[in-house]
Structure 1
Amino acid sequence: MNKISIIFTSIFLSILCFTSISQAQPTNTQGLDAKQRGIVTIAAFTANGDLEKLKTALNEGLDAGLTVNEIKEVLVQMYAYTGFPRSLNGINTFIAVMEDRERKGIHDELGREANPLPTNKSSLELGTEIQTQLVGAPYKSKITTFAPAIDQFLKSHLFGDIFGRDTLDFQSRELATISALASIGNVNPQLQSHLNVGFNVGLTEAQLRSLVSVLEDKVGKKEADNAAAVLNKVISSRTP
């Protein structure tokens, strides 16, 4: 083999090796689109209170095509899972991000407002319907029997007043909820429940594993490892 042949052979082998590596290592976020990844990170950093990283996540979410009203809806929903302080801090951070983008001449899409809730049923009735749809059956547990008030609040307020708003679909709301629960930690029973709901509303295993990958890339390995373990448990329990 002459010198020119050796050079071309080396180049060919290098290209082949690079191609094989690229094909063997698909992107960690395969399964979630850019807007969905934006929901995951916005919810995560609102939940754990990292406002500097939340600023980045909010900008990335807007750049990915999330509307202003969709992001507002995620931030408002977070109060039901992380408390008013985290939600209010998230909203204040979003106000600052919007003001900064406006100064830079960036005009983001406002998006549509939520349609009015049905007038022919109460929030409790609506919430009971939505909860049953999400869970897959009427929900009853020792907690709701022991403390009926929390059952009423969950049905009427969380599922009726919040989940009943159609600015976000149920898949988006579950991505936000799962991400928030995974990021605050020590709430595995609720994380497991919402991973099940995620499957019930049509999220795929690939999408939920992508969510875990986003957590690992953006939030932390500890949070991602725990979410992966709970997800594996849920998948095992759902496998016939």
Structure 2
Amino acid sequence: MTMTTEPSLSPQQEAIVPMAAYAATGDLSRLNVALGQALDAGLSISDCKEILTQLYAYAGFPRSLNALTALMKLLQTRKEQGTADVQGREPGPVPVGEALLEAGTENQTKLAGAPVTGPLFEFAPAISLYLKTHLFGDIFCRDNLDWQSRELATVAALAVMSGTEPQLQAHMRISMNVGVSAGQLRHLVQVLAERVSLDASERAQSALRGQH
């Protein structure tokens, strides 16, 4: 009998999980460790900056700014210690004006698997516009980080926060839509349990179970 190995996260993808989780909770001491592990695993400086910047959309500006400050300080320390971290590439240009709205709407549809509509967006059309133009436009049009990595970071951040279960379920689906396998998401659940918290792992497990 041939044994098949379930797909798992790469070392770089695995390193995103605790980094995003601790950035989202503001646990800077554990974040510092996770950032060092992420850089050692092969994530570039650009990768880390992009993940921590994107997280403001899910965890708020204060947590994102504090996490970026922690990264900046860690990079300086590592440089002084003789560690040459890979810079990585900067993103290409992002559309503006009407082209940004069109690109963001297209990105949102691809990620969700269908056009995103509903009573909430009719009740508060401004939030729909902000999602399309800013989150799925300004952020998801930045091409220096792939969508799978963005979604792994988002799922980890939402899993570690309480009260975000509907969004966590949605991003489990989105992760699958952009090519993250169920096996890789089970690996993410395991990483949360081993490196973050059982509560976060259980929330992620429940959201993943809801996809079947």
**TM band (smaller chain):** over 0.9
Which residue number in structure 2 is paired with residue 23 of structure 1?
none
1:102 is matched by which residue type in structure 2? K
Which residue number in structure 2 is paired with residue 203 of structure 1?
180
Which residue number in structure 1 is paired with residue 191 of structure 2?
214
| Local SS of the residue matching 1:122 | helix
User: Post-superposition shift, 1:120?
Assistant: 8.7
1:94 aligned to which of 43, 62, 71: 71
Which residue number in structure 2 is paired with residue 8 of structure 1?
none
Q: Does 1:224 align with 2:201?
A: yes
Q: Within 2, Cα distance between the matches of 1:126 and 1:30? A: 31
Q: Within 1, Cα distance between the matches of 2:181 and 2:118? A: 27
Larger Rg: 1
Unmatched segments (≥5 aa) in structure 2: none
User: Post-superposition shift, 1:218?
Assistant: 1.1
Which residue number in structure 1 is paired with residue 29 of structure 2?
52
The number of aligned residues is 208
Q: Within 2, Cα distance between the matches of 1:107 and 1:50? A: 26
User: Post-superposition shift, 1:117?
Assistant: 1.5
User: Post-superposition shift, 1:121?
Assistant: 5.0
Within-5 A mapping of 1:11-50: 31-50=8-27
Which residue number in structure 2 is paired with residue 148 of structure 1?
125
2:62 is matched by which residue type in structure 1? P
| Local SS of the residue matching 2:69 | helix
Q: Does 1:166 align with 2:121?
A: no
Q: Within 2, Cα distance between the matches of 1:63 and 1:153? A: 35
Distance change (3 Å), C-alpha of 1:153 and 1:119: closer
Which residue number in structure 2 is paired with residue 15 of structure 1?
none
- Is the contact made by 2:159 and 2:203 (CA closer than 8 Å) also made in structure 1? yes
Q: Give the TM-score normalised by the residue count of structure 1.
A: 0.84
Which residue number in structure 2 is paired with residue 20 of structure 1?
none
Within-5 A mapping of 1:75-114: 75-114=52-91
Q: Does 1:139 align with 2:139?
A: no
1:58 is matched by which residue type in structure 2? L
Q: Within 1, Cα distance between the matches of 2:128 and 2:96? A: 22
- RMSD in angstroms over aligned alpha carbons? 1.5
| Local SS of the residue matching 2:114 | coil
| Local SS of the residue matching 1:227 | helix
Unmatched segments (≥5 aa) in structure 1: 1-25
Q: Within 1, Cα distance between the matches of 2:96 and 2:135? A: 18
User: Post-superposition shift, 1:223?
Assistant: 1.3
Which residue number in structure 2 is paired with residue 5 of structure 1?
none
- Percent of aligned pairs sharing the same letter: 47
